[in-house]
Structure 1
Amino acid sequence: METFATMQGSVTTGPLLNSVGRCTTPDVVLYPPNIQSRSTSKVSYVGPDYRLRSSSRSKPVKTFFAGERKLGQWQRSASNSRKREISTRLPIRAAAAGIESGSSSESSIGSNLHDPVSLTVALQASEARVLEIEREKKEAIDSLRRSEAKVEEYAALMIRTTEETLKELENSKKLFKSELARVLEEKSAFQQEAIQAKQDAVNLAVKIEKISESAIQEATQRLAEEAKLKGSAAETAAADAVVGLEESIRTAAADAAALVVTEAGSVMDEALAAAALAKQQATRAQEALAKGIEVFEELSNAKLTILSLQEKVSFLERELKLSQRMVENLRLELKASQARTDAADIRAAEAEAAVEDAQRASAEDGREREERTKAVLEEIKASLTSRTEAASVALQADLEALQAAYHAAQEAGDVKEQANVRMYEALERSLAAAESSAEAWRNRALSAEGMLSRFKEEGVEVVPGLVVEDVTAGGRMENLLGNDSIRRDLLANGPRRETPEWMRRRIEVGFQGLPPRTNAYASPQIEAEVPLHLPKPEDVWAINKAKVKEDDMYTRQAKEKEALDEQRRALERALQKRTVKRAEDGEGKQESGTGSGREIVFQGFNWESWRRRWYLELAPKAADLKQCGITTIWMPPPTESVAPQGYMPGDLYNLNSAYGTVEELKQCIEEMHNQNLLVLGDAVLNHRCAQKQSSNGVWNIFGGKLAWGPEAIVRDDPNFQGRGNPSSGDFFHAAPNIDHSQDFVRRDIKEWMKWLRTEIGFDGWRLDYVRGFWGGYVKEYIEATDPAFSIGEYWDSLAYDGGQVSYNQDAHRQRIINWINATGGTSSAFDVTTKGILHSALHNEYWRLIDPQGKPPGVMGWWPSRAVTFLENHDTGSTQGHWPFPRDKLMQGYAYILTHPGTPVIFYDHFYDFGLHDQIAELIAARKRTGVHCRSPVKILHANIEGYVAEIGDNLVMKLGRIDWNPSKENHLAGTWERFLDKGSEYQLWERK
């Protein structure tokens, strides 16, 4: 700024500019005597036209306020008033200088003095407005992004919920279908059992009737024959006596009459002539009289004999009457038996009616369950439909709101960009005007300097006033001229302005229903100060603690499963009453086919044992096996076989096999019996290799003692052209499949098995490939041979899901249970389910060892007294290796099966070849020490990824895996416990003190 004076007064050229844009207008009075001059190093001037006129590059903008508008028209009225104020405050008194107050140049100067102030204020307002708009834009974009993320998350949630609901619906359908199929199977099984029971009752009644009739007939016939014989003998004796007596009387009378006549004639003829003969005749007469007396005595004796015979006849008549009474009693008993038979028929009819009622009730129950299921499904469908519609409506509304907000933000961004372009153009024009104004100020400064120099030369004194600072020191001019970064920011962002009310309302409508903005990330300081709280192991969810709703379909199925378990237990109790009991070592009673419940079986061979004289090698191990606690030995197949392992038998009565001779077999069994060990024979009943070819060249004619033909082979065998009935099971394709429905086949097999029991010494059976024929035939063979123990090999594939063993194996173990049911519970079966689950469970998946009901997951969990648990056998392990158990998990597997219910089996290779002899013997001793048997109850305490803990019976607790647990940490475990077997993270055993 410059200050200059005239002879008549003071002149102020313009307001002072400070850094904040405020201005002051001090007056400088010039006194003629003391004229002094002071100039500044820098002079700037803004041109007189402060209005921003629209150039060819400026375009009208469609704004949200009031239609089209040109930028640069703000604060004109304020500038005019300021210009008037400045013009009135400029008294011009220097006439000599030729400057007048009303001149155009002074008016121009006065009007240009206010232009930098207004520009500074406008630029500051514009900058603040631009910053505010940018901030709002960023917030709108962030909100839009969050809204889009929320919408995507909500859509994904809805899709996932829908998919889960559909999956649950499909699972419910599958579960209902499987349950319905199982109920139908059980229904058919019950019907079959009822029909079988009815048939048994009818057969029993027929047998009783036949026996009674035969007994009565035999007794009656025998008594009648005896009575008839006795009567005939008596009649014959009496007739002989009468005939003899009559002959004697007749002979005596004839002799006496002839003698009397002869002698009377002799006397009459010779009376007169031979008087001397009178005495002789008298003597003879006396002799004849004596003879007559003897005849009469004989007659009396005959009469006495007749009387005695009559007494005997009367006695025989009484005996006959007694026999007749006995016959009557037998007839009465026959009538009573007929009445009992009628009663049995009535009971059978009642049973049939009860079965029909049960069938009707089951059908009605099934229909009710189906209707309830349909209703539930309909409700689920309706709820899903309503939820889907509501979700779609809400999603549509949210999408519309978000779209509106997005469009509003997009429009605001477009407007902002257009405003920035215009602002940039206006600033360019302002800069050009400022440069021209500065040039004008330089020119005026030069003129003022010239005037001051003239004043000095003329001797006029200039009075100094306030110091005039540089107009470019701070404020807008410094922003425009001195700092490039600030200039670029101003040109890029433009001035800031507040958000209009209509836009704020529209944005608020768009963000309705969205959650408030939260900071999802914690600072490192907060993370360091706030401790991390993790749940305790006992607080972590476990499947055995999970509870389902009472109205859930699965709960109803569990109740039905409990009812079936109760029926199985009832069947066991019935079997215990009807089976043969034996005492064994004082440990309990033994059932036919299922043992005492305390058996520990040892498989005494592997797939390669036939290569040595195996019977001679196995016999010396009997003492060691007994000492280690083994109770039962499973021997290899004894018969001559096409394959040396024994599973392709030919002549069943030829026991000279690859394992040894029949004498060596008997000696081996005798040695086992000397150690009180039971011996199980491996009986291959499903198939048999033929010795001869038929006329068609097919091997279907058998040799040896059991010389069967094609009639002994099932009709639908695809390879051997059988002529029997259709098969009742699966096919074994390597040999002819035997038709067990033939009476002669079953009779011959029963005779052969009895021969093995009585002549060879086997105590029980391991039955090979029982899937090939109906279990009812097995029941008949077991009842005929009365074995101490029986095991069926029902090997079936487990359920897999994506290459992994499925958690739910109920269908698999149900098939094994169905076969056991078909045998009437007279035979056990290998628990293949437990073996398959152990393969995966022992690799840190111990949660597989508990089913949804909290029980063990195999056959052991449903029917433990019929479950025979094992890890490997000659098929799965040995040199075949069809399904080998993990080598590093063998002792964990034995710790599981030797401490749990069921009958455990120990494999020869593990016991004698793998170096596990002493460890397995320890576990056997622990089983006997704690009293674990095949029916011991199991209470599973923990089953998760870290390990498995269970209480077995009353005296044993065991742990598998690395889980940090001991009895003192369990609140619901009563008693005091002492650890007596510790193998670290593999397994640990505790015994109740």
Structure 2
Amino acid sequence: MKLFASIFTFGAFVLLARAEFFEQTREWTFRNNKNVVGVSTNEVYYQSFNWDVLSDARSDFYNSLQNELGNLINAGINGIWFPPPSQTADNQGYMPGEWYNIPGSDQLKSVAANVTQSGLKVIMDIVINHRSAQQVDGCSGQYSIFNNPDWGNDKVVKHDSLCNGGYTVPDNCGPGNYDTGENTCYCPDVDHTNGQVQNDIINWLNWLQANYSVTAYRFDFVKGYSGYYVNKYISATSPVFSVGECFDGDTGVVDNWIQSASYSSTAFDFPNRYYLKDAINNNNYGGMEQGLNPAGVIGVYPGLACPFLDNHDTSRDDRFCGGDQNKLIQGYAYILTHPGIPFVFHDDWFMNPVQQAIKTMISIRKNHQLSSTMDIYIDRHEGGLYAAYMGPGATQVGGGTVAMKLGTNNWSPSGSSWTLMTSGTNYAIWAR
């Protein structure tokens, strides 16, 4: 049948530094003989921006976030994902140049300090796959001379392709080593094999922690460089949490990245997002179970998976179910009751019916022993219906502390003492 998992204490391996912010580290054992490590936590995080918001002055953005902080805290949010902080060639921060030049510095210091003092994590967006240069090099004829920190051609990977053809640094101009990941053509790719690059990244991360209350990282475009270096930077700077953007719908690709980073970081569960979006759009949930487990990374590495509905990229051209409020609420009914460490998206938060539903679901998650590595028993996954039991003891029909359903077909949990906690269009959640 559908026995998903059981967990037992795994005290010999500390997955993330400063683990006092989480419950104890555990090992997750599957009936399909996959044993993986992960962090057991009931925490929920919030992405504080979309693409358009970052076109405004950064100081205005930080002030707006400060105004919303009390509401986020009261809702039970445990960490806030901040946009890339540094001077950048674009408006959004994803073409960073001078790392130590921080627009809106005073406002960022203020809001980040308030977030930390309130017991929440400051999850800073770390863009280190590529970097925009400030000066044209005389040999390459391209922007490949960097300031703050200062680098030259040898810090750019060999055969770094330009969007219109050719290389950022030709072979005769002294490039670095070959790239350890995928190429980006819009900015020079950084050579992570270079010792100075590694030291400069580590120094900058430590500086962000010391000056801007940063406690956690979101690594941008991790397909661009080996996960070995993510592990190196995490080991050297000890964040309380990190998550990588391995933007791929293939569960195996994301799983492989987690492995390449030596299980030091969680990863966004893009595969689960695509399965869930298609299921809700089509009212067909047949693909929401893979083997014995939920679809996506949460079905392989639940303690290292971060499910979500949208982010600043997907919301621009692949909005979850077109931004339909009822379908967004259905999506949150799933990710806030299922394994993994869920993220709430900025745009969804500012839809009042969606925000109210999210608040209710976070309360259910935290008050009924749901966690990233909880037991889950999928009872139905078919056209018109998805239904599951979750929480301690959810190893059979009627087990656990929470039950939920999605879809147009009727369903209610078996057993006694269930109370309907919330319901709406094509979803319902019970607890006991």
Class of the TM-score when normalised by the shorter of the 2 chains:
0.7 to 0.9
Map Cα deviations across residues 64-118 of structure 1 (whole Å, 9 max, x no partner): xxxxxxxxxxxxxxxxxxxxxxxxxxxxxxxxxxxxxxxxxxxxxxxxxxxxxxx
CA distance in structure 2 between the partners assigned to 1:608 and 1:866 by the alignment: 29
State the partner residue of 1:839: 277
Map Cα deviations across residues 199-254 of structure 1 (whole Å, 9 max, x no partner): xxxxxxxxxxxxxxxxxxxxxxxxxxxxxxxxxxxxxxxxxxxxxxxxxxxxxxxx
Secondary structure, aligned partner of 1:928 = helix
State the partner residue of 2:46: 602
1:689 to 117, 132, 157: 132
State the partner residue of 2:63: 616
Map Cα deviations across residues 650-680 of structure 1 (whole Å, 9 max, x no partner): 0001112xxxx11110001112123211111
1:732 to 184, 188, 192: 184
CA distance in structure 1 between the partners assigned to 2:226 and 2:287 by the alignment: 32
CA distance in structure 2 between the partners assigned to 1:626 and 1:699 by the alignment: 43
Distance 1:846 1:882, change over 3 A: closer
CA distance in structure 1 between the partners assigned to 2:77 and 2:38 by the alignment: 16
TM-score, structure 1 normalization: 0.39
Letter in 2 for 1:947: L
* Contact 1:634-1:766 at 8 Å conserved across structures: yes
The equivalences for 1:930-941 within 5 A come to 930-941=368-379
State the partner residue of 1:639: 86
1:961 to 407, 418, 421: 407
Secondary structure, aligned partner of 2:403 = strand
1:899 to 318, 334, 337: 337
1:676 to 110, 116, 119: 119
Q: Does 1:750 align with 2:202?
A: yes
CA distance in structure 2 between the partners assigned to 1:774 and 1:573 by the alignment: 28
* Contact 2:258-2:267 at 8 Å conserved across structures: yes
CA distance in structure 1 between the partners assigned to 2:13 and 2:154 by the alignment: 35
* Contact 2:420-2:431 at 8 Å conserved across structures: yes
Map Cα deviations across residues 547-599 of structure 1 (whole Å, 9 max, x no partner): xxxxxxxxxxxxxxx9xx99xx99976533x7544434xx73479x9766222
2:151 to 681, 700, 708: 708
Secondary structure, aligned partner of 1:634 = strand
* Contact 1:690-1:699 at 8 Å conserved across structures: yes
CA RMSD of aligned residues (A): 2.4
Letter in 2 for 1:609: V
CA distance in structure 1 between the partners assigned to 2:8 and 2:90 by the alignment: 43
Distance 1:748 1:571, change over 3 A: farther
1:583 to 17, 20, 23: 20
Distance 1:572 1:752, change over 3 A: farther
* Contact 1:594-1:788 at 8 Å conserved across structures: no
The equivalences for 1:16-55 within 5 A come to none
State the partner residue of 2:106: 663
State the partner residue of 1:977: 418
Map Cα deviations across residues 287-321 of structure 1 (whole Å, 9 max, x no partner): xxxxxxxxxxxxxxxxxxxxxxxxxxxxxxxxxxx
Distance 1:582 1:859, change over 3 A: closer
State the partner residue of 2:169: 721
Distance 1:834 1:782, change over 3 A: same
2:287 to 831, 848, 852: 848
* Contact 2:17-2:239 at 8 Å conserved across structures: no
The equivalences for 1:348-747 within 5 A come to 574-576=12-14, 579-584=16-21, 588-589=23-24, 597-610=41-54, 611-612=56-57, 613-656=60-103, 661-695=104-138, 696-704=140-148, 706-719=149-162, 720-721=168-169, 723-747=175-199
* Contact 1:871-1:885 at 8 Å conserved across structures: no
* Contact 1:622-1:675 at 8 Å conserved across structures: no
* Contact 1:632-1:677 at 8 Å conserved across structures: yes
Distance 1:841 1:977, change over 3 A: same
CA distance in structure 2 between the partners assigned to 1:727 and 1:788 by the alignment: 28
* Contact 1:690-1:703 at 8 Å conserved across structures: yes
Letter in 1 for 2:114: E
The equivalences for 1:97-496 within 5 A come to none
Secondary structure, aligned partner of 1:688 = coil
Letter in 2 for 1:988: A
CA distance in structure 2 between the partners assigned to 1:827 and 1:944 by the alignment: 33
Q: Going by fraction, where is strand more abundant, 1 or 2?
A: 2
CA drift of 1:619 comes to: 0.8
Distance 1:570 1:734, change over 3 A: farther
State the partner residue of 1:772: 224
CA distance in structure 2 between the partners assigned to 1:570 and 1:747 by the alignment: 38
State the partner residue of 1:451: none
CA drift of 1:882 comes to: 4.1
Distance 1:739 1:674, change over 3 A: same
CA drift of 1:703 comes to: 1.2
Distance 1:882 1:733, change over 3 A: farther
TM-score, structure 2 normalization: 0.87
State the partner residue of 2:267: 829
State the partner residue of 2:395: none
Aligned sequence identity (%): 33
CA distance in structure 2 between the partners assigned to 1:920 and 1:572 by the alignment: 32
Distance 1:581 1:670, change over 3 A: closer
State the partner residue of 1:874: 312
* Contact 2:87-2:96 at 8 Å conserved across structures: yes
State the partner residue of 2:397: none
CA distance in structure 1 between the partners assigned to 2:293 and 2:40 by the alignment: 23
* Contact 1:600-1:903 at 8 Å conserved across structures: yes
Distance 1:572 1:712, change over 3 A: farther
The equivalences for 1:934-949 within 5 A come to 934-949=372-387
Pick 1 or 2: higher relative contact order, CA cutoff 8 A, min separation 6: 2
Letter in 2 for 1:643: D
* Contact 1:595-1:788 at 8 Å conserved across structures: no
CA distance in structure 1 between the partners assigned to 2:333 and 2:89 by the alignment: 38
CA distance in structure 2 between the partners assigned to 1:693 and 1:581 by the alignment: 42
Q: Does 1:817 align with 2:269?
A: no
Letter in 2 for 1:671: N
Q: How many residues align?
A: 397
Q: Going by fraction, where is helix more abundant, 1 or 2?
A: 1
Letter in 1 for 2:275: I
Map Cα deviations across residues 528-563 of structure 1 (whole Å, 9 max, x no partner): xxxxxxxxxxxxxxxx78xxxxxxxxxxxxxxxx9x
* Contact 2:219-2:244 at 8 Å conserved across structures: yes
State the partner residue of 1:860: 298
CA distance in structure 1 between the partners assigned to 2:38 and 2:322 by the alignment: 30
